[in-house]
Amino acid sequence: MLYLTQRMPLLNPSEDENKSPGSTKYHQHITEMSQTIQTSCSLDEYDEGKKTLGASTIKFGELVILGYNGCLPSGNRGRRRSRFALFKRETPNGVKPDKQYEVSPQKPGQAVKSKGKHTISYTLSRHQTIVVEYSADQNTDMFQIGRSTEPVIDFVVMDTVPGAKSQEECTILESTISRFACRIIVDRDPPYASRIYAAGFNSTNNIFLGEKACKWKTEPGMDGLTTNGVLIMRPRGGFQGDAKPGVWREVSVCGNIYSLRETRSSQQRGKLIESENNILEDGTLIDLCGATLLWRSATGLLRTPTQKHLEQLRQGINDSRPQCPIGFNTLVLPKHRHQTAKQFLEENSKQPYAYLKCGHVHGYHQWDSNSNQERTDRTCPMCRDIGPYEALTMGNEASFYVDSSSPTHAFCPCGHVCSEKTTKYWSQVPLPHGTHAFQAACPFCATPLAGDQGFIKLIFQEAID
């Protein structure tokens, strides 16, 4: 099966077929293009992404937020969505360092004298500010990510709340994500190298590193880190079935790579890693201190299972007609999760549940249950193991898969189902948590993993005819 992500405009079937090379080739072309739009994000998202960026059909890659199973709880709309495609812009908007100068305390307005100029200001003291001025770069495109909804931000990212199923549950009191968190500069010519930098330019095309910000002088000029930092982690061996997590690093405002600070907001920078660069590789994780993004390159997406393929795998499980060993009713693995346990019972009595200690799959039942509350430990009637009893739901975000194998395993304790190698990979990835902690989490809902491995092999009982 081909896993294609290149979108192409559909031909108008009303056009005269005689204008085509031949009717056979015409229909073959239609078939091929119909296959290409079976991608891991919908055609609506593709059109919306192009509309937002004013873009061509050349795709650089995608950014996908961990913790969402294909869609935000409030829906994917405009620049607020669970995934964002980067297309080549019609007009380049990249910038590159041009010149550096010191601003006199008597003339503070010099740092922001021109709205058309991109600048980075480094305030060293009340009496000394270094300004680095940037000029237009016709060979690159720039994309900015952050919490701000200002037009200069291409991808609006809010804090991820683990396990949130509704927009109300996503509400937080105080965000730790910067309004202008980071920027990605992509070469407009092959191989379309994508480089990440901490901090993004605001609506006046400026980046300000105040007196208390972590900054320092370098041989070329100046450099610095944002308050909570931008961390990246590249997988070892590529983002594929045998991938292993790499080492977390921090990227600076100028794109240099450093070891991690003692805490996210420490004033002391880490050690410069001269052997590493800021080029994003397929599967690179980007942490913004409140949300973690996964970078999928255009070539990496070619190896990613499509939504159509994931649906076929889900249907394959359902076609085997698995049964509940207690109620003997046929179970159906759903594509989406309902809001509450009551909806599970009222709307879908075929919903499969699993004992996440042993992996035995059942329908919902009250056996050995002292309450109707969710996520209480239960005793499996098949093997007597005691552990969480959770509803199973298909992992729908294809970009999180490291292979295209059958969904045979589930994350613990959330119950998201995907392939064995995918569960193994993410169970080994230490995702940043808080100011200096790390923990593995389910990529589909951001729930911290539990149990001996963080996942379990599912045991279905086939139908007895």
Contact between 228 and 265 under an 8 Å Cβ cutoff? The reply is yes
Q: What string of DSSP letters covers 157-186?
A: -----TT--STGGG--SS--S-TT-EEEEE
pLDDT for 114: 54
Q: What string of DSSP letters covers 120-162?
A: EEEEEETTEEEEEEEEEETTEEEEEEES--STT-SEE-----T
pLDDT for 55: 52
pLDDT for 23: 38
pLDDT for 45: 45
pLDDT for 376: 66
Phi-psi label, residue 267: left if phi above 0, alpha if psi -120 to 50, beta otherwise: alpha
Contact between 158 and 177 under an 8 Å Cβ cutoff? The reply is yes
Residue 266 DSSP class: -
Q: Which residues of the chain have a pLDDT value below 70?
A: 1-56, 105-115, 337-348, 367-376, 463-465
Residue range 180-230, pLDDT digits in tens? 999 999 999 999 999 999 999 999 999 999 888 999 999 888 999 999 999
Contact between 280 and 194 under an 8 Å Cβ cutoff? The reply is yes
pLDDT for 34: 31
Residue 149 token pair: 């909804």
Amino acid at position 23, single letter: S
Q: How far apart are CA 177 and CA 73, in angstroms?
A: 19
pTM for this entry: 0.84
pLDDT for 6: 35
Going by C-beta distance under 8 Å and a sequence separation of 6 or more, which residues neighbour residue 417?
A: 333, 392, 393, 394, 395, 407, 409, 410, 458
pLDDT for 43: 38
Neighbours of 102 (CB within 10 A): 11
β-strands 155-156, 140-146: how paired? parallel
pLDDT for 75: 83
Residue 248 token pair: 């977390």
Listed residue (27, 153, 12, 6) closest to 79, CA to CA = 153
